[in-house]
Amino acid sequence: MDAGEPRSDAANEAAGASPFTSVTAEQKLYVCLVAVFVSCLLLGDIIGGKTIATFTIAGHDLGPISVGILPFPVTFLLTDVVNDFYGRKGARFLTLVGFGMALLAWAVLQLATFLPVHPSTYFTQAEFSKIFGGSAQLFIASMIAYLIGQFLDIQVFQFWKALTRSRHLWLRATGSTLLSQIVDTVTINVIFWTWTAASDATSFLGQKSSAERWAWIFAKIGREYLIKVFVAVLLTPVVYFLHGAIMRWLGMRPAPHESRATEAPPARHDAK
């Protein structure tokens, strides 16, 4: 076997080495980033049913927002880090893994909710269903918004990276988040709240007129998007810190930017 050839499984076993020893630092980092991303994605979905107060400005209450907004900024941050160091394919795979794990988590929660309770249970059936059962409307709305937002974020990030030729990290990180999250926020709120109001005339929104309903939905969209913009700007130094830490401590370099169609092809040097 040549010195540069990777060992086969049989060779690893013969040498008494674990296959894990052949895992590179770049691969370990990717696994860690995916793990944190999926954790924050699932937590945001599970706790999203609780709303919290925001701020009061000049005596005017800005209204409630979902507590699920707390872990989601981490998903924006990690998407940008993966997109920069592992490229478009790495970011897309991250997105699809998150989608698959969300489907798995929702299926397990639905099964757990469906099963009958024992008298010794800590949660009553009604309590468990309310907290973990989740609605099909919310899950479908969140997954549609997630996929659209993620793939748009990846596309815009790569566009800015190619346009600036890998310069101005803040522009591609913040710019991609600002655009993708307005689409994400509008999608999930419009689908979920209009669906909920239409399916339950006795609900909070179901009792409102059409004009009042849309006013409430878009006011909520505005609040949540402004908070996401604020958080995205605050996370800019964190993006630079992680970017520098990965380059310094792991010796990794960001993936090269994609070639743009408008770029001139490299000059050819024909043999004479």
Q: Which DSSP string do the residues of the chain spell out, in sequence order? A: --TTSPPPHHHHHHTT--GGGG--HHHHHHHHHHHHHHHHHHHHHHHTT-EEE--EETTEE--EEEGGGTTHHHHHHHHHHHHHHHHHHHHHHHHHHHHHHHHHHHHHHHHHHHSPPPTT-SS-HHHHIIIII--HHHHHHHHHHHHHHHHHHHHHHHHHHHHTTT--HHHHHHHHHHHHHHHHHHHHHHHHHHHHHHH-TTSTTTTS-HHHHHHHHHHHHHHHHHHHHHHHHHTHHHHHHHHHHHHHHH---PPPPPPPTTSPPPPP----
Least confident of 14-23, 29-38, 234-243: 14-23
**pLDDT for 12:** 54
- Residue 9 confidence class, pLDDT cut points 50, 70, 90: low
Residue 106 forms part of a structural domain:
yes
49: pLDDT strictly greater than 80: no
Q: What is the mean pLDDT of the chain?
A: 84
- For 90, what's the count of Cα atoms within 13 Å in the CB-facing half-sphere? 20
Q: Give the residue-averaged pLDDT of 60-68.
A: 76
Residue 110: give the domain boundaries: 23-114+132-250
**CATH number, domain containing residue 162:** 1.10.1760
Q: For residue 272, is it within any domain?
A: no
Q: Residue 263 pLDDT > 70, yes or no? A: no
6 inside domain: no
Q: Is 267 inside any structural domain?
A: no
Q: Of the ranges 48-57, 62-71, 96-105, which is most confident?
A: 96-105
In a domain, 193, yes or no: yes
| Region 240-248 average pLDDT | 94
The answer to the question of residue 168 being in a domain is yes
Indicate if the pLDDT at residue 40 is higher than 90.
yes
What confidence tens digit (pLDDT) does each residue in 102-124 have?
999 999 999 999 999 999 999 99
Is 46 domain-assigned? Answer: yes
Which pLDDT score, from 0 to 100, does residue 106 have?
Answer: 92
For residue 255, being part of any structural domain is answered with no
Residue 270 has pLDDT above 70, yes or no: no
Asked if pLDDT for residue 201 goes beyond 80, the answer is no
Domains held by the chain: number: 1
What pLDDT is recorded for position 156?
A: 95
